[in-house]
Chain A
Amino acid sequence: MRFVDEFRDPAAARLLLAAIEDMADPSAPDAEHFKFMEVCGGHTHTIYRHGLEHVLPRNVELVHGPGCPVCVIPMGRVDDAMWLAEQPDVIFTSFGDMMRVPGSKGSLLEAKARGADVRFVYSPLDALKLAVDNPTKKVVFFAVGFETTAPSTAVTLIRARELGVTNFSVFSNHVTIVPPLKAILDSPDMRLSGFLGPGHVSTVVGNRPYRFVPEVYGKPIVVAGFEPLDILASVAMLLRQIREGRCEVENQYGRVVREDGNPAALSLMAQVFELRPHFEWRGLGFISQSGLRLNADFAAWDTERLYDMPGIRVADPKACQCGEVLKGVLKPWECKVFGTACTPETPIGTCMVSPEGACAAYYNFGRMHRDAAQLVGQSGA
């Protein structure tokens, strides 16, 4: 398939791996240990799905970051979503991978099984169309995601206003990527060598917002794409910066990401959203200026203003260490409940739900001994 296969070329991968091996120099007597955080869940998914972890040198470690939009939604917000879904005449719409996220009283999938009208959509515009087609119903869209998905929510709201659709509203849970990165960099238990920066988010915000990473915190960052070769190329770029004594923002994903991002998308977001003073992240707690809500111009489409939701803050389950996993402090398998009490069928934490969650990615794809994995990798069935 064009635009996919050329980023999965094994010969190119071998060249990159040789370059990585060369720069990382794992057999040197004083071999440095490199610890790079891949910010996005999409990166994590690619790393495990393509078995990249086991082909990197042992002294190049990838740790998983907070950029999984489903993983960071706190329990209380899921409870509010379930409450909304159960209101009379409401059609509650959501992206597919929010459906299994557990709140304190189960998931949207279970609410649906109990009779709530919950539908999954591929775009907020589909939700708006449902509202137009069902004038006697009230359609609520469960908006989640970073700057990647926020512009499409903004477009939908502007369209709803143009069309004068009054039976449509948005339950905004949009978040921004820079505040959690700052929180991670401020955390004393993280000793990172650099970052694979968020690719999709950067298509909207551009590269400039990450300048504080090298300038304030002295860490290199390479905005990385999501194909296997993108990941390997970005790791090589980070190592090259370190070996050459540079520390800057670089863009590996230049085929998609522009320096200034997408000004049109940013302007749409500015028309619709405003920053919340603070927003709760699952496992990470409250982070100031990290969430987006609808501004006063769009009050008529703002679910939070239209419905008197319970809005009860629910503490994460005690056993759950999603916060530590999202911050990259713990590897998924280091969590106490990983793989036994918490599995994809019975998830306790969000990281086990979304395919982009580090725990789900590791459980579904990565759970192999390194020696067994290498045996499989080399044998020629």
Chain B
Amino acid sequence: MTVRTVTLPDATVQHSGPSFAENEVIERIKAFRKRRPRLIDEIITMSHGAGGKSSAALVDAVFVEGFRNEQLVQLGDGAVLTLPSGERLAFSTDSFVVQPLRFPGGSIGHLAVHGTVNDLAMAGARPSWLSAAFVLEEGFKISELQEIVADMAAAALAAGVQIVTGDTKVVPTGAADGLFITTAGVGVIPAGRRLAADRVQAGDKVVISGYIGDHGMAVMLARESLELEADICSDTASVSDLVQTMLAAAPSTRWMRDPTRGGVGTVCNELAQVTGLGIVLDERVLPVRPAVHGACEMLGIDPLYVANEGKFLAVLDPAETDAALAAMRAHPLGGDAVVIGEITDKIGATVALRTQFGGTRIVDMLVGDPLPRIC
């Protein structure tokens, strides 16, 4: 797309592009948005769990306020802890409340292992040990529990981790929805490896390890109220091995994050806020499967905000990008890895998407759960 430079013959002519006043408004909003989101709600709504601005406000106002310490305030997916010996551990936890418990491509058991394993991998660690705590609803079938546990065991074996401790609680009918699982995990970070947002710089490349939106759409379509037939499977998988492969080829990798709840759009916004840098994504190369694209179009949902459970986003040194992609593509889980964007210092802490037409739009944080549009 070539960019027109148009000289306006008459300065008083109104036009569709920003006038002076619009630019002022944009600046005012930018200043306003630099404030962290404020918690104004009196009760918990589903928005607080959706991973967008409401979640951030809740975490800030309640959890960070209550537990404040050096590790927590970094708000990573996992904490990085240094032992007296100098070795560093990554430590992470996650709860799983998905409905339905089983969906095309996996179950809550797979998610419970992969979620925590992937969080550890994102900190640069080799995941080693997991704990698992179960909240079971009275009346839940033991055979179903056994199936879910078998899924967890298989996922742990494949990811190279052991589930070494656990807990079980039973609550009366109605006090839980079948079962909830919480896992926590630890892994050792190899010496010399440091992944952190402060290492990200303009010109770095943003890589996604494969197709986006599969998990979120698979679960959404598996919910009974949606009678849409599409062949979409969750991507739930441990990315730990793929991460080690990539890091071996790209040792200067700056930062990684798995785009689970809130999707790629949310993760990019979090990175932009922490670094103060902009991210430009290119719509033409975003890997979205046709079935996911179609289902998203029908529901009015943007695949950029749909959850993934077996993908990660990495910010790479441009000099190592080709080597990283070659290594990833040779791995069974990384065949579709691709550069989707670039870090820039030209647009402030904004995430922008270059559309297929050379048009441009902002990719903002989601406010709450994505709600399907009427028409």
Contact = CB atoms under 8 A, between A and B. Distances in A.
- Indicate, yes or no, whether A interacts with B: yes
Interface of A: 1, 4, 8, 10, 13-14, 17, 21, 26-31, 33, 35, 42, 48-62, 69-70, 95-100, 109-110, 112-114, 120-122, 126, 144-145, 148-149, 200, 228, 331, 333-334, 338-340, 344-346, 354-356, 363-370, 372-379, 381
Contacts of A340: 28-29, 32
B280 A96 contact: no
B25 interface: yes
B196 to A, nearest CB: 22
Contacts of A49: 355, 361
Interface string B331-373: 0000000010110101100101111111111101001100111
Given A109-B46, A114-B43, A355-B373, A365 B361 contact: yes
B8 interface: yes
Interface residues of B, number: 69
Given A33-B15, A109-B368, A110-B45, 5 more contacts: A49-B361, A70-B374, A340-B29, A366-B362, A368-B26
Contacts of A126: 225
B297 A365 contact: no
A104 B324 CA distance: 54
Nearest to B43: A113
A61 B341 CA distance: 30
B211 to A, nearest CB: 14
Contacts of A54: 17, 359-360
B172 interface: no
B361 A377 contact: no
Interface of B: 1-4, 6-10, 13-18, 21-23, 25-26, 28-29, 32, 37, 40, 43-47, 53-54, 205, 225-226, 280, 282, 284, 290, 293-294, 297, 300, 339, 341-342, 344, 346-347, 350, 352-362, 364, 367-368, 371-375
A26 B6 contact: yes
Contact of A51 (B3, B225, B355): B355
B15 A51 contact: no
B16 A61 contact: yes
A92 to B, nearest CB: 15
Given A120-B371, A340-B29, A368 B45 contact: no
Given A1-B297, A54-B17, A340-B32, A377 B37 contact: no
B15 A377 contact: no
A340 B50 CA distance: 23
A27 B15 CA distance: 13
Given A355-B373, A365-B361, A10 B6 contact: no
A31 B225 CA distance: 53
B356 A50 contact: yes
A60 B53 CA distance: 35
A344 B355 CA distance: 23
B15 A148 contact: no
A153 B352 CA distance: 39
Contacts of A369: 18, 23, 26
A58 B354 contact: no
A1 B26 CA distance: 35
B46 A1 contact: no
Given A27-B7, A373-B360, A345 B373 contact: no
A252 B356 CA distance: 21
The 7 A-B residue pairs with the shortest CB-CB distance, nearest first, are A51-B359, A381-B342, A96-B371, A339-B29, A373-B360, A58-B15, A61-B16
Contacts of B290: 1
A110 B357 CA distance: 39
Contact of B3 (A27, A345, A378): A378
A366 B29 contact: no
B359 A121 contact: no
A355 B347 contact: no
A265 to B, nearest CB: 14
Contacts of B2: 378
Contact of A100 (B3, B342, B371, B373): B371
